[in-house]
Structure formats: structure tokens, C-alpha cells
């Protein structure tokens, strides 16, 4: 199960700032949402509470986890923004890793929520924010799939 774990080199932290091993059995079969966002971004601050509610309602039954990747300009803003988020985070000090993933995944604006198959590292959905906000607020069709996901895109960085 090296899929998503290959992207982060052990720099994922939980709410207690403890390192998380994404290769652990408890993450097997999970869908991961990579959430690119920042405190200074008004659309992000508008979407984050909706994502928190969606996560709290569906994370367990949909076998779903989120990793926050911050575009904040300083660690204090990052910490202030993250404090209400109930999911994992990429260590703020790993901005180079966040930038690599943004480039690899074609992230050109925030907020952005991309769904990844945790086992394979394949991109499933590049517009999960749009699904949560407008098309499938109840998550009935989760995990959403991009039409173009027929040709699998992997987010595993080489």
C-alpha cells in the first residue's frame, strides 16, 4: 500500500502533531482528499466549514480521510486555520512537498480538493469541492470520479 504514502515521506501529522504512517493497515482501502487551502483565502474560509461537516458526517462510512496542504504564508496563520479541522495535515515546514504536489496535480487555485485512491495513488476526482458544494452534498455518489479518470493519473511523485 505504497500509493499515497510515497507522496509524503512521513511528513503527515495528526491533530496531536504526531507523525502518521500512511502505510499502516488502518489506512488500507481509504480514499484520501488532498485539501489545498489557506487562511487568507475567502473562498477557502467559506468552503472549509462545509468540508468539516461533510467529513464528520461521512469519513467513517465512506472510508475517507483528508490531508490539509497549506498555502498560508506563515506557521501561525496555518495553526490558527488548522485548529478547527478534524483531519490530518502536511507538516507546514514541508512547503516544497506541497509545491511539488500542486505542480504534479495541476492545482492552480485554492480551495482545491482532489480525491486519491490511497492504495494505488491514482487520482479519482479533481473537483471534489464542486461535488460537495453543488452536486452531491449528501455524498450519495462518493467517491466521485472524473470523466477523464478513465486514463488513470497517478499522483505518485518520482
**Backbone φ, ψ for residue 69 (5° rounding):** -120, 110
The answer to whether position 68 is within a domain reads yes
The answer to whether position 76 is within a domain reads yes
Model pLDDT, residue 2 = 58
| pLDDT over 70 at 148, yes or no | no
The answer to whether position 144 is within a domain reads no
Q: Write the CATH number for 83.
A: 3.40.30.10
Model pLDDT, residue 5 = 87
The model carries a pTM of 0.91
The answer to whether position 52 is within a domain reads yes
Q: Give the model confidence (pLDDT) of 98-146 as tens digits.
A: 999 999 999 999 999 999 999 999 999 999 999 999 999 899 999 999 8
Side-by-side strand order, sheet with 88-90 = 12-13, 88-90, 64-70, 31-37, 112-117, 122-125, 153-154
Q: Contact, 48 vs 111, CB < 8 A? A: yes
What range does the domain containing 108 cover? 1-15+28-122
The residue to which cell 503527515 is assigned: 12
Q: Give the model confidence (pLDDT) of 59-74 as tens digits.
A: 999 999 999 999 999 9
| pLDDT over 50 at 154, yes or no | no
Amino acid at each position: 500500500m505504497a500509493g499515497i504514502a510515497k507522496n509524503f515521506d512521513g511528513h503527515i501529522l495528526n491533530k496531536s502533531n504526531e507523525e502518521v504512517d500512511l502505510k499502516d493497515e488502518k489506512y488500507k482501502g481509504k480514499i484520501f482528499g488532498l485539501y489545498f487551502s489557506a487562511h487568507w483565502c475567502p473562498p477557502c474560509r467559506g468552503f472549509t466549514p462545509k468540508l468539516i461537516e461533510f467529513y464528520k458526517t461521512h469519513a467513517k462510512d465512506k472510508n475517507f480521510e483528508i490531508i490539509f496542504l497549506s498555502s498560508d504564508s506563515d506557521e501561525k496563520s496555518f495553526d490558527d486555520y488548522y485548529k478547527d479541522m478534524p483531519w490530518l495535515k502536511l507538516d507546514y515546514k514541508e512547503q516544497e512537498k506541497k509545491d511539488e504536489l500542486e505542480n504534479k496535480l495541476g492545482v492552480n487555485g485554492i480551495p482545491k480538493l482532489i480525491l486519491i485512491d490511497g492504495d494505488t495513488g491514482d487520482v479519482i476526482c479533481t473537483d471534489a469541492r464542486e461535488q460537495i458544494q453543488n452536486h452531491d452534498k449528501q455524498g450519495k455518489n462518493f467517491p466521485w470520479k472524473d470523466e477523464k479518470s478513465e486514463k488513470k493519473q497517478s499522483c505518485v511523485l518520482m
